[in-house]
Each structure stands twice: as C-alpha cells, then as structure tokens.
C-alpha cells in the first residue's frame, strides 16, 4: 500500500489541530481548503466575541463545513471568557443548586454565545463523578460526587447545549473522577472493579448517550477492570467493546489532548494518535502545546504509516473519517450564525442568578456581622491550578467587592509567598477593619490550611470565603461557600458581603 491522496485525505479528516494567533495562519487556510475537516480554538486565539466570529468566518471561507471545537465548560474552565472571567458558574455550583431547568438554561445560554461566535462543537460537560475530593484535575468541573445527580445534570447540559445548535461532548470516558493523578503529567489509575464502574462512573455517560450527545471525549486513564495494559484513549476494549458495543454510542469519539504525557509520554504524539484511531477513537485533539503545521503533518503521517504497516485497518480509519464528516455536516446545518437571546431591561443574567443560588452561608458567631460594616482588607490564597484552567483568568472576591465597597484593599498570596512575614503584614493591613480570607480548595493545600489557621488565631472575627470544593464550614465567624471560583461566583459573594444581596 502506498501513501496516496485518498489515504492522506482520510488521515487529515480525523485531526482537529490547534493553531497560533487570532487570525488563521496561511498553513491552516491551505489545509482547510485541501480537506482538513476541523480545528480547535484555545484562549490564545480569542480576544473578543466579534473577533472570534471573524476568525471562524475566515475558517469557513476555506471550508464551509469546518468543525470548530472549543473547551468551554463555563466556570473555571473557560476559553471564550478567559481574559475577563466566566459570567457563568461551573458545574459543581449547578449541582449544588440541583435545578435541572437552570442547568439546561445555562448550557443553552452558553451554546448561543458559542454559536454566535461560529463554534459548533463544545468539549463539555464533564460527566465525571468526583468521588475523590483530592482529585487534582476534576473537582469543581464535575456536577458532584453522587452519580444520580451527575447523570441528570449531564443530560440537562447536553439538552441545553445541543438545542442551541452546538454539539456537546461528555468527558472524560470512562470517568476521571476517582483519580489522584493529573493526566496532563502522568497516567491516572482507576482501581474500581467493572461492577463499581458500571454503578458509579459510567452512569452519567449512559445518561448523555440516552440524551443523544453527539460526541464523547476519552480520558487518558488506565482502567485495569477493562484493559490492564493500554490507557482508555488507546484501548479497543474501552472505546469499541465498552463504549460502542455495550453502551451503544454511535457518535464521534474524540481524544483528550493527545500531547498529554499520559499517552504521548510512551508513544509520542504521532504514535499515540495512530493507536487511538486503531482503538476506536474518531478524532484526534492536538495543538494545545504544539500548534504548528509540522505537528499536524506528523500526526497525519503517523496515522497513514500505521495503515501502510498494517496495524491500523484502512476500514477503521475510513469509519472514523465518516463519523467526523457527519458531525461536521450536522454542525454546518444547525446554523452557526445564531445569536444570543437579547436581554430584557432589568433582567439579571442567568449566570449571576445561578451563582447567587449556589451560595451557602454559615454563621458561627452571634456577633458575626453581615453585611460588612466597613471596607475590609481581603486576603486571597491562590493555589497553582492544573493546565485545564487558565492561570490568568480573573477570580476572587477582592475586585468585585472593591467596586461595591470603595476602599477595600487586597493581598494575594501563593504557596511561595504565604510566609509568616507576609501574613503578619496582611494582618497589619486589617487593623481596625474587617478581614475577609478567600481560599480555594483549602483542604488540598497544606500551605493554605497553615495560613488560614494563623489568620483565624489572630482574627477569629474573620469572614472565610471558600471558592473551591468546600471542606469545612466551621471556619471563621462567617463561612461563605461559593462552590465555584468563576468571576461571577466572586461577584455573588461580594454582593453578600456588601449587603447588595440578602439570602
């Protein structure tokens, strides 16, 4: 068998590359005109909604049926709003509210914005059951730890997103929730038995499939109950036998970022891509870290070489390409020029409604005062986040509170700067003023716990705002759990502190 044009075309069809810049580079235009079917947008490609609409219009000028994907979960994982901060809370906050109509409307509202920007594939929702509270990569991205709750909200999200004309994507199959390793850096092991997986982790995926989800994203997970040798992304036992045959999924299976060390560390980017297609995946997500034509060509050639060498059947590649083309046709037919529903004067944005409803307040002292009697000093403890979360995306309480209570001051500390001297300096800034301490997943970060204990010992009247997974609610004179760190979650907490909102 030779490397002919038809084989090259099939391989191009299953690659979803990323690229640099806010306009399409020449190589991408050329490849789209020559048969490339899809692309993935990252925050580096995004400035404003109108700019993204212009960008996707330029892509469609080369290929009218181009599939444009994005990793937009809302909340902590946002690309469309990475620069300004998400105007919608993430999945965990929606699970806390547990209003299926609200979850569906949040997804529909987000879908309208994506469709208006020319995006027709969203790599969301996370259908992972976050059964391990120490999980370093899922956490707030999950609807919760209860498989029934996660299942019904996953289905609601899929309904809302796809009603807007944007394909949803349930991830990270067969479930990344019960892990303690970040697959960006290593291979997480899922130790559950097959029976346990069917009872917990797989249930939200069944719900998504029953709802008609268009795509499912693989997780780079080693799941010995199904395959003790190959990560799920590369495993025919997981992707074909379990997802296709047993669960009956007939849509597009797309990989998580193929550059991630959990799969590329052993096989390289090209080798992992070819093995993923051989195992049953239909589309390769690539370009988060290597967003150039050389990488896209290397992945294509590795897939072609696998066919020529005989260990990737051409029929399997052709089936994958067919599925991707059918999804692209669906995306083109839904109308990528949809616009967001116009807001009525006086309407509260649906994202703020959701963030307010997700707040939980615990008063531990009869003398605890809310709203704050004066502009406070705010201390924010900022942990290092996993690679799925943009490190510069705005979060916290200090900025929105400063707009409501002018004179508010802020100290932000990290693991390296939260020294005894820095904490004493923060306490000095709060003399004769209220003190607000903002933490994020404090239970997972000993340095945050140490700083929190130090500050509370000196100032037992401190108001504690937890913007990650809530661990303890018995900290501070008042404890506010936002159940999310999106900008809108900080806004809702600031409204409570300033007295602009009473629950």
* Pairing label, strands 67-70, 121-122: parallel
Round to whole Å and give the CA distance between 304 and 418. 52
Going from the C-alpha of 68 to that of each of 115, 261, 269, the distances in angstroms are 10, 25, 21
Is there a catalytic annotation at residue 479? no
How many angstroms separate the CA atoms of 377 and 176, rounded? Answer: 38
Contact between 161 and 124 (Cβ < 8 Å): yes
Whether the link from the prior residue into 172 is cis, omega within 30° of 0, is yes
Region of 55 on the Ramachandran plot (φ > 0 left; ψ -120 to 50 alpha; else beta) = alpha
* Angle in degrees, 0-180, between the axes of helices 100-116 and 350-358, rounded to the nearest 10: 140
Residues 184, 220, 336, 479: which is the catalytic one?
A: 184
Asked if 141 and 72 touch (Cβ cutoff 8 Å), the reply is no
Residue 222: DSSP 8-state: B
Q: Rounded to whole angstroms, how far apart are CA atoms 355 and 19?
A: 33
Q: Of 40, 112, 91, 486, which is closest to residue 258 (Cα–Cα)?
A: 40
Q: Answer left, alpha or beta for residue 472, where phi above 0 means left and psi between -120 and 50 means alpha.
A: beta
- Known catalytic residue: 153? no
DSSP string, 248-283: ---SEEEPSPTTSHHHHHHHHHHHHHHHHHHHT--B
Question: For residues 231 and 222, is the Cβ–Cβ distance under 8 A?
Answer: yes
- Angle between helix 26-33 and 293-309 (nearest 10): 40
Identified catalytic residue from 128, 256, 282, 441: 256
**Strands 360-363 vs 478-481: parallel, antiparallel or unpaired:** antiparallel
Q: Which of 499, 488, 500, 502 is nearest to 397 (CA)?
A: 488
d(CA 362, CA 180): 30
Phi, psi of 375 (to 5 degrees): -60, 130
Which positions are annotated as active-site residues? 184, 256
């Amino acid at each position: 068998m030779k490397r002919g044009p038809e084989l090259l075309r099939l391989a191009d069809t299953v690659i979803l590359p990323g690229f640099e810049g806010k306009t399409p580079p020449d190589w991408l235009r050329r490849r789209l005109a020559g048969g490339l079917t899809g692309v993935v947008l990252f925050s580096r490609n995004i400035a404003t909604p109108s700019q993204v609409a212009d960008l996707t219009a330029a892509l469609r000028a080369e290929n009218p049926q181009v599939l444009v994907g994005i990793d937009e979960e809302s909340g902590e994982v946002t690309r469309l709003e990475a620069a300004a901060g998400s105007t919608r809370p993430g999945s965990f906050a929606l699970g806390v509210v547990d209003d299926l109509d609200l979850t569906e409307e949040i997804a529909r509202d987000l879908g309208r914005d994506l469709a208006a920007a020319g995006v027709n594939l969203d790599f969301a929702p996370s259908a992972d059951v976050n059964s391990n509270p120490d999980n370093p990569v899922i956490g707030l991205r999950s609807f919760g730890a209860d498989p029934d709750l996660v299942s019904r909200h996953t289905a609601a999200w899929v309904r809302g997103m796809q009603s807007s004309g944007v394909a949803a994507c349930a991830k990270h199959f067969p479930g990344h929730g019960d892990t303690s390793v970040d697959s960006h850096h290593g291979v997480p092991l899922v130790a559950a038995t097959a029976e346990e997986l069917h009872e917990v982790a797989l249930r939200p995926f069944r719900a998504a499939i029953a709802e008609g989800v268009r795509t499912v994203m693989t997780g780079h997970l080693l799941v010995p109950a199904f395959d003790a040798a190959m990560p799920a992304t590369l495993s025919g036992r997981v992707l074909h036998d379990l997802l296709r045959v047993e669960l009956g999924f007939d849509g597009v299976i797309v990989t998580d970022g193929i550059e991630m060390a959990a799969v590329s560390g052993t096989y390289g980017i090209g080798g992992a891509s070819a093995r993923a297609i051989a195992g049953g995946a239909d589309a390769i997500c690539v370009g988060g870290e290597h967003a150039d034509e050389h990488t896209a060509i290397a992945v294509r050639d590795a897939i072609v070489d696998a066919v020529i060498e005989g260990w990737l059947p051409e029929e399997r590649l052709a089936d994958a390409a067919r599925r991707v083309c059918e999804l692209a046709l669906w995306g083109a037919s839904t109308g990528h020029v949809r616009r967001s529903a116009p807001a009525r004067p006086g309407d509260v944005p649906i994202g703020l409604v959701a963030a307010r409803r997700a707040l939980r307040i615990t008063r531990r002292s009869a003398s605890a005062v809310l709203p704050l009697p004066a502009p406070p000093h705010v201390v924010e403890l900022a942990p290092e986040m996993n690679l799925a979360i943009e490190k510069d995306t705005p979060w916290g309480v200090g900025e929105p509170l400063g707009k409501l209570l002018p004179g508010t001051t802020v100290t932000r500390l990290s693991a390296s700067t939260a020294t005894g001297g820095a904490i004493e300096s923060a306490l000095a800034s709060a003399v004769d003023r209220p003190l607000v301490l903002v933490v994020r997943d404090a239970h997972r970060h000993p340095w945050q716990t140490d700083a929190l204990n130090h500050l509370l010992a000196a100032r037992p009247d401190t108001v504690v705002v937890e913007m990650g997974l809530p661990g303890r609610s018995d900290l501070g004179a008042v404890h506010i759990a936002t159940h999310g760190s999106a900008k809108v979650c900080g806004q809702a907490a600031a409204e409570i502190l300033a007295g602009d909102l009473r629950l």
